[in-house]
Amino acid sequence: MSHPMRFSMAIAALCLVLVATAGIPAAAGEASSSADEAARTDAAVIAVDDHWMKAEVNGDAMWLDAMLMPDYHSISSEGRMLDKPTLLAHAQKNRGSDDMRKKVDAWIKTHPTRKSVVMHGDVAILSFSDPATGRVRSSDIFIYMDGGWHALYSQHAKVE
């Protein structure tokens, strides 16, 4: 949940969460978060992404550390880089607080998002787009290894 509207490092963490949003209306045929995250399917990639958002909101840094590849990077719509250690630190700050959950829920209400997956072998690209315009807000690249999907890279765009 991983990202589209970053203006500072504090906002960067929120955006990663927003992209990886569980509770966003899914397009027809997309998975719920009850899918087997270890499967090599579109549904599994979406389920891992949903889990990612929940882990950031709840401060589950252990799960995030295992899911994010060591060299994970996210690039904001302003071109700023966020690395794995920074993302983990932001997530840890959310533990025991519902402040991030409230921000995410408010953002979700005003930003409906469609998720789509393109998969080729052990690589999956999960894109988040505005259902009204089709414009892509962000994309996450996952690699399948060691029996599961792991995030390698995220890229975000300004979509008006």
- Cβ pair 129, 156 in contact under 8 A: no
Q: How many other CB atoms are found less than 10 A from the CB of residue 134?
A: 8
pLDDT in tens, 103-157: 888 888 888 889 999 999 999 999 999 888 989 999 999 999 999 999 999 999 9
Q: Which residues contact 151 (CB under 8 A, 6 or more apart)?
A: 2, 48, 52, 67, 68, 69, 72, 140, 141, 142
Q: In the 8-state DSSP scheme, what is residue 153?
A: E
Report the distance separating Cα 116 and Cα 129, nearest Å: 8
- Name the token pair of 55: 């882990």
Neighbours of 153 (CB within 10 A): 16
Of the candidates 8, 22, 7, 26, the one whose C-alpha atom is nearest the C-alpha of residue 56 is 22
d(CA 128, CA 3): 10
Q: Give the chain's domains with CATH numbers.
A: 9-156 (3.10.450.50)
Higher-scoring residue by pLDDT: 28, 57 = 57
* pTM (whole model) above 0.85: no
| Residue 2 · residue 51 · CB < 8 Å | no
For residue 62, pLDDT over 80 is answered with: yes
